[in-house]
Every structure is written in C-alpha cells, then in structure tokens.
C-alpha cells in the first residue's frame, strides 16, 4: 500500500489466494494472446505496407485448417478458465457447516450487524481470524452489496430475501468494506471496516460492554408478544406445527413435496404463510408482512434455530420422516 502505484489489495481471506491465482492465470493467458496478436498486426502492417499507388494484395480466400485451429484452441482455453472459476464459485456459494453466523442488515445508507451473542455494530464488523464466518444478509429498502476487497468476495443484499456469504479471514487487521450495488444518494459512503482479531481478543471484545439482548432471547420475547406461541405449541398439539427441531430439517408440505427449513423458508412462512402449507395443517396463519421489521424477523429466526436442542415431539411437527432429527 506504500507503493505510489498500488495494485492488488492485501490477501486476507481463504478466497483471496485462489481468486488472485485464477486472476493471474487469466491475465497471463490473455496477455500472451494480446501481445501475440498485436505484434502480428504491427509486423503485418509494416511488412505488407503499400509499395505503389495501384498495388493490390494477394487473392486469398481463407484457410479452413486455420479457422478450425483458432476456433478450437481458444475454446479449450476458455473452458479451462470457466471450470476453474466455477470451482471457486461453488465453494464460495456453499458455506461449510461449522460457521460463526453473523446477521447483517443493509439500509440506506448504513450497515447494521449483529453478533451471535447479540452485540450490535454499525458499519463495523469484528470477526475472529481463521474461523469460518457466514453472513446472513437482508435489506430494509433497496438492493445493497457487501464487498470486502481484501477478502475478494461480495454478495448482493436484496430486500425480500436472504442472501448468505461466507469467508475465513486469514490475517488480522482492519480492512475496508464497501457497498458495491448502487443504492442512492450516499451509496459511496455506505462502507466501513472489518476488524479481524485473534480469537482471544475477539472473545474479550464480544463480552465487552453490550447493552443488547441477544437475538435468541429477543426472538423468544417476540414469539410471545406476537402470539405465535398460542398456535405453535411446542408439544405439537396446537393448531400450527411445533417448531422444535424444524430448522434444517425437511418439512413435508400439503402438496406432498418437501422443503428444507432454512432462513429463507422461515422468513417466507412469517411474511407469506400461505405460500407453503405444512402437511396436516390448515392455512390459518395471518401474514406478518409490515408488522415485523427485518431485524425482528432475524431475531425470530434465531429463536427458532435455537429450538434445535429440545426433543422433537412425537406427533405432527410436519417434519418428513426420512430425515427427521437434528441438524
């Protein structure tokens, strides 16, 4: 960063090395072809420059062998680049199981983040080094995008759905993050800093002064306040399915299909309850669209996730038999 003409930012995540490696491969390959073609053009322009006013060139139609060659060779190289890029991407899109989950809400023009213990931050993200971090991201208004150049990854933050992204910071330090999807007036200042800390440091920071309730207990409180608890009885005898152990399980629906109960499913079930009806239950749940904020939905989700440890009731949680059980 001291260089007068800086180029690559620091490499501070598990993805940085592989993204840069592929970048360098494509750079070298394209540079080779660009230089080759340029040199050939300059050579030809000089060698075959017009010698006399009325001169004409040779009468050549083409050469099928050459055509096949310069179709096949670039195709093979392109497929190589594609496959390499796809491998990195699939790894990036499918998060490992053992992640530290942090909730993130984008709104014009700030980022609100919440640690698993409830500690909230604005435009700051503290994470431990060498730990898989998963961001579960929602937006309160327009589309934003969370981008950390030093980690080489970004993901859009879209209203109406959860996107997730994961990374493993590999180096302690402070790194810029940006909003990289245009979101209105102050798009350019909707950024902040990721602080990557040693695990002990992180733990100390996490337990530091925090007046915030953690999302699970906030969710538990909401679950009562919004009267969810009157139907979703934990023993499965209520008018609505028990939510114990539902997170991460396959849920059997009224139309016979199954769906994995992930964050997006829970969110949809709160906002559009009639979209997917659990087998054996009536579509009687009212919508909570407009009644709960994005943050409250995240809290409710966190609470429902926390119900994992309790035993699955014998009857009617709607969980498909084949894969019932814990996550």
CB of 312 to another protein, least distance (A): 30
194: preceding bond cis by omega (within 30 degrees) = no
Residue count (the chain): 327
Q: Which two tokens stand for residue 156?
A: 């859009």
CB of 154 to another protein, least distance (A): 6
CB-nearer residue toward another protein: 94 or 200: 94
- What is the DSSP secondary-structure string of 259-313? EE--HHHHHHHHH-TTSSPBTT--S-PPP-TTTS-HHHHHHHHHHHHHGGGSPPP
CB of 177 to another protein, least distance (A): 10
CB-nearer residue toward another protein: 137 or 252: 137
CB of 153 to another protein, least distance (A): 5
CB-nearer residue toward another protein: 20 or 121: 20
Within a 13 Å sphere around the CA of 184, how many CA atoms are in the beta-carbon half? 9
Give CA 311 to chain center in angstroms. Answer: 31
Task: Return all residues near 194 (Cβ < 8 A) that are at least 6 apart.
Answer: 125, 126, 127, 148, 150, 151, 169, 174, 175, 176, 177
Reduced to 3 states (helix: H, G, I; strand: E, B; else coil), residue 151 is helix
CB-nearer residue toward another protein: 77 or 233: 77
CB of 9 to another protein, least distance (A): 5
CB of 19 to another protein, least distance (A): 5
CB-nearer residue toward another protein: 84 or 281: 84
CB-nearer residue toward another protein: 85 or 173: 85
């Amino acid at each position: 960063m001291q260089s007068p003409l800086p180029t690559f930012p620091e490499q501070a995540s598990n993805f940085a090395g592989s993204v840069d490696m592929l970048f360098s491969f494509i750079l070298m390959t394209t540079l080779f072809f660009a230089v080759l073609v340029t040199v050939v053009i300059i050579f030809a322009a000089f060698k075959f420059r017009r010698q006399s006013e009325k001169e004409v060139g040779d009468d050549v139609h083409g050469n099928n062998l050459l055509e096949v060659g310069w179709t096949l060779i670039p195709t093979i190289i392109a497929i190589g680049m594609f496959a390499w890029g796809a491998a990195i991407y699939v790894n990036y899109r499918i998060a490992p199981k053992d992640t530290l989950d942090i909730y993130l809400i984008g709104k014009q023009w700030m980022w609100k983040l919440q640690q698993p213990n409830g500690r909230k931050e604005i435009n700051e993200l503290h994470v431990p080094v060498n730990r898989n971090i998963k961001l579960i991201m929602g937006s309160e208004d327009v589309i934003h995008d969370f981008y950390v150049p030093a980690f080489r990854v970004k993901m859009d933050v879209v209203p109406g759905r959860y996107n997730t992204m994961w990374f493993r910071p590999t180096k302690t330090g402070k790194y810029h993050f940006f909003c990289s999807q245009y979101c209105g007036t102050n798009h350019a200042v909707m950024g902040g800093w990721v602080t990557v800390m040693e695990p002990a440091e992180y733990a100390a920071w996490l337990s530091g002064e925090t007046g915030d309730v953690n999302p699970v207990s906030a969710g538990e409180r909401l679950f009562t306040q919004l009267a969810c608890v009157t139907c979703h009885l934990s023993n499965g005898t209520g008018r609505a399915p028990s939510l114990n152990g539902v997170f991460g399980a396959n849920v059997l629906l009224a139309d016979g299909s199954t769906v994995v109960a992930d964050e997006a499913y829970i969110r949809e079930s709160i906002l559009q309850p009639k979209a997917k009806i659990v087998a054996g239950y009536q579509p009687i749940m009212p919508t909570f669209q407009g009644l709960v904020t994005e943050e409250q939905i995240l809290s409710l989700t966190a609470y429902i996730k926390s119900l994992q440890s309790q035993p699955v009731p014998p009857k009617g949680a709607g969980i498909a038999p084949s894969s019932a059980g814990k996550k």
